[in-house]
Amino acid sequence: MEAVCLKCGDLGFIEAIVFCNKCQACALHRYCLDGPVIFTDDVIWFCEDCEPNPVVSYSLNQSTLLSSKNTNSSNLANNAILSQRKLDYCVTRLQKSQQQNKKKNEEKQKKGKLNSVLVAETKVLLSDSRCSTEVEYPQCNINHEQENNSKIYCGTVPTDAENSNMGPKSVQISQVTATDDLITLDIPVDAQPISDPIWRGDLLFCNKTIGLLAHLSSLASPKVREETELFPEVLSADLPPRSAVWPNSFKKEGPTDKSIALYFFPKDKRLSIKAFDMLVDDIIRTEAAIRVLTKNAMLLMFPSTLLPIQHQKFQTKYYLWGVFKKKQTSKEK
């Protein structure tokens, strides 16, 4: 016969049936026992007939119970320690992250302040440079005797304003030096071109005409301006050998950007530009010069290949530059 629980009177779950530890006849469900329900460990239970105490009692294996309690308490302690460690770790990470973010924000603020200062200084510099829109022409204090002894008066080279992005700079003269046939300016700055051309006209040579623009140098002497303003609309020129008209001062040290009185560029027309490039190439190839007799002096033009390498090209092209030389008298000839 199947065992039936003495308490609930039902068959219930067979695997939950516990028999009396003494008679092995009476049965009771584990979940019908008083106290906690135990399904894993052995249960010691006595029926009313086998137990002198009329109250149904049961007990667990004391060693199992003690070991289970010890295990549970140690597990709880370990879990508490791990939880505390995790909490401390999270708090530490959070504090470090906040400190790093704070440092980054401070660095960004410093960079922002520095950038604002740099922008302000740049604006000041740009405004200062824009204010200097006019060039102070050097005033050459040369006495009458030095003027008679010098055969060339010249200034420095202007670049073509229509083709140049550089504005003129204010220049102060420190010293003027007179040599045997050339007056040079001892100035610690490079020459710059005057923006507007001082002369527009044509160059006539060998029955050919080329449109030219003449630009003063920012370091040109006042005499250069005075003589250039007297140019006619058409300049008649010849092409002598360079060696025949090369100034003596150039033979010693060679010309520099401060030796140039005028820059010459073609007019903004295709035919003029093409003819100008061909003229420059011919002068370079034949080692010739261009000579023009003006009202009070003689204008000599040379190719830019004779200048120092940093001044030889303008917008990747060679150009012409000129100096003035005193006209030779009949006695000097």
Greatest Cα pair distance in the chain: 165
pLDDT at 69 over 50: yes
pLDDT at 272 over 70: yes
Question: Which residues are CB-neighbours of 26 under 8 A, at least 6 positions away?
Answer: 6, 19, 20, 47, 48, 49, 50
Q: Provide the pLDDT confidence category of residue 53 given band limits of 50, 70 and 90.
A: low
- Phi, psi angle pair for 324, to nearest 5°: -105, 140
Q: Provide the pLDDT confidence category of residue 49 given band limits of 50, 70 and 90.
A: confident
3 state SS for the chain: CCCCCCCCCCCCCHHHEEECCCCCCCEEEHHHCCCCCCCCCCEEECCCCCCCCCCCCEEECHHHHHHHHHHHHHHHHHHHHHHHHHHHHHHHHHHHHHHHHHHHHHHHHHHHHHHHHHHHHHHHHHHHHHHCCCCCCCCCCCCHHHHHHCCEECCCCCCCCCCCCCCCCCCCCCEEEECCCEEEEECCCCCCECCCCCEEEEEEECCEEEEEEEEEECCCCHHHHHHHCCCCCEEEEECCEHHHHCCHHHHHHCCCHHHCCEEEEECCCHHHHHHHHHHHHHHHHHCECEEEECCCEEEEEEEHHHCCHHHCCECCECCEEEEEEECCCCCCC
Half-sphere exposure of 248 (CA within 13 A, CB side): 9
pLDDT for position 160:
42
pLDDT at 46 over 90: no
- Cα Rg of the chain (Å, integer): 54
pLDDT for position 124:
64
pLDDT at 318 over 70: yes
Encoding tokens for residue 137? 């022409």
Residue pLDDT, tens place only, 276-303: 999 999 999 999 999 999 989 999 999 9
pLDDT for position 71:
75
Residue pLDDT, tens place only, 79-96: 888 888 878 888 888 888
Encoding tokens for residue 318? 């060679």
Residue pLDDT, tens place only, 171-202: 333 344 444 444 444 556 888 788 899 999 99
What is the pLDDT of the chain when averaged over all its residues? 76
